[in-house]
Amino acid sequence: MGEMKFLAGVPRFVFFTGKGGVGKTSVACAAAVQLARAGRRVLLVSTDPASNVGQVFGMHIGNTVTPIDSVPGLWALEIDPEQAVTAYRERIIAPMRAVVPDSDIAAMAEQLSGSCTTEIASFNEFTALLSDEGGVYDHILFDTAPTGHTIRLLQLPGNWSQFLTAGGEASCLGPLSGLDKHKAVYAAAVAALRDPLRTRLVLVARPSRSALTEIARTRAELETVGLDDQYVLINGVLPPTADLNDPLAVAIARREQAAVADMPACVAQLPRDLVELKATNIVGVDALATLFDPTPPVGGEHGPATETTPAIADAPLSVLIDDIEAGGPCLIMCMGKGGVGKTTVAGAVAVALAQRGHDVHLSTTDPAANLAETVGGELEHLQVSRIDPARAVADYRARVMAAKGAKLDDAGRAALTEDLQSPCTAEIAVFQAFSHVIADSRHRFVVLDTAPTGHTLLLLDATGSYHRDIVRQMAPGARFITPLMRLQDPAFTKVLLITLPETTPVLEAAEMQNDLERAGIHPWAWIINNSLAAAMPNDPLLRRRAAAEVGQIHTVATMSDRYAAIPAMADEPVGIPALAALARSRSTSLDTPQSPQPL
């Protein structure tokens, strides 16, 4: 077993975080298996609303502590937002049923159905674990949501503690009604996070500039929370056995080495582990047990290195962009699991439309995204923005104070100011900013890079709650259009589900498609990003990974009316020329004896 620095003298609490798609779940699961096999009692907790821990172990886990039968000493828990909300809502409403009319109970249930309640319910389970000093587990490992959501989660104990200590109350009194009782729990959670003898942070990244830059930002933000015991783990590094005659493998190795050599200084000074790329996906206990071992040459225990791969359909992104253009101005939403390339695809679509002479607004709801870096320059007809939660909250507070505060006396204004300090305010503010972006698409193409799956579904939940409120308030026969109605209109909104040609991302995209369908939103197309099968590599390890992709690509083809496959590129698609080239790239078959098209 490889010796990992981050597992030396490991404390009770370990958080794994980083940009989506870097392998946090695989690393967290592998660490949990290693510690359990060393005789420790380990609880593995997922705080990601789009958790796939159960898929990695091949079993259902869910919102209750579940033993992993194949690994004695290991238990797992997926904090499921829906189940957490149901239990939280029932704890608040149950005592009221005997004394409150049914109509009031129904109103309370509706009040406790928003994304703010979802956040608080999940957060309460998280803080309970951190404050449980006398628990039965030697180690509790947290597989967290992608960076932006995780920063929000780890800042919440301090935010709520400060808010309640100051005597804060809030207009969303239902979900906050039990918070005052938990001051001691939140204080204990803050203390645990700030104690390096109890808590360690593992910043997981791929060997790419964007992922390493992301963990540098994360490191700085989480230092303000007090998480000082930090380690870096760079996952999926191409091993030194790569075929130097394969242009794609050479380009990937060169790009990775440059990214690691040039990583931000604040990250370079941290203890560092490297985990090599494996020929197959890390699913199952046997695979997890080998994750930290050096990668053996393909063709040995991994089987033949020269198998051929069936042809895949030539499905360029440019064809989908042609169809989008033909329909005229609309909202184009790029959705999917963290790390699948939503920002890159959104940038490529926006650049292509702008270069064709259309006015385009490219924006994002992802707290961790940086569209300006991805686009890397200015382009005629293209406006780039982001929904900044801090800016949205400041603007929202200013609007409320100007509207409601103008009619209040000094005491009333002071109370309203205190009310608006509630962390719930951020959810309302971001939803309003999201609604303005939707409205903008009536006049021009708006391409929206969304936050990773779980965060986006919470935003859509807020959109649905707003729609239901409007429906109740409108007079019979009145005409109105809500943001949800625009999202449900395929002529107005085109949802692009972005995935990678791997088992877990495809399964998660399929689950998101089902969630969207239940909300009346039908995904317009799927986009398979960064496909080795479409890039035709010669390196044995990359060929093995490419061969494993074909089945997933065929699965996507059966689940969607239309799809595109984007080949893996030699260089990171950053900058307007690279994004334009990405939109034009075409798939090729591994059986075709020619140089890879992306090169």
Q: What residues pair up with 273 in beta bridges, in sequence order?
A: 233
H or E element, residue 258 = helix 247-261
According to DSSP H, which parts of 112-246 are helical? 115-130, 147-165, 173-176, 183-193, 209-223
Active site residue 453: no
What is the residue whose two structure tokens read 């409007």? 470
Residue 241 CB neighbour total at 10 angstroms: 16
200: tokens are 């360690």
The whole-angstrom distance between residue 377's C-alpha and the CA centroid of its chain comes to 26
Phi first, then psi, for residue 21 (nearest 5°) are: 85, 5
Cα Rg, the chain, nearest whole Å: 24
**75: helix, strand or coil:** strand
Report the Cα–Cα distance between both ends of the chain, in Å, rounded. Answer: 37
- Of 17, 18, 26, 208, which is the active-site residue? 26
Among residues 21, 73, 174, 405, which one is catalytic? 21
Residue 44 three-state SS: strand
Q: In what order do the strands lie in the sheet with 525-531?
A: 382-384, 360-364, 445-449, 331-335, 493-499, 525-531, 563-567
List residues bridging with 446 in a β-sheet. 331, 361
Residue with tokens 């104690």: 195
Active-site residue, 168 included: no
Contacts of 388 (CB under 8 A, 6+ apart): none
Specify whether the CB–CB gap between 545 and 554 falls below 8 A: no
Residue type, 12: R
Q: Are the CB atoms for 315 and 334 separated by under 8 Å?
A: no
Alpha helices in 444-520, H assignment, sequence order:
453-473, 483-488, 503-518
How far apart CA 588 and CA 598 sit, in angstroms, is 10
- Which helix (H) or strand (E) segment holds residue 566: the answer is strand 563-567
Catalytic residue among 23, 148, 168, 174: 23
Catalytic residue among 344, 365, 493, 504: 504
Q: Which of 25, 127, 161, 482 is catalytic?
A: 25
The secondary structure of 425-457, three-state, reads HHHHHHHHHHHHHHHHCCCCEEEEECCCHHHHH
**Lookup result for tokens 């050599």:** 261
In the set 17, 19, 46, 48, the catalytic residue is: 48
User: Is 23 designated active site?
Assistant: yes
**What 3-state DSSP class applies to 379?**
coil
Which residue among the candidates 17, 18, 24, 419 is catalytic per the annotation? Answer: 24
| Phi, psi of 143, rounded to the nearest 5 degrees | -90, 105
Of the candidates 392, 387, 394, the residue with the CA atom closest to the CA atom of residue 421:
394
Enzyme catalytic residues:
21, 23-26, 48, 504
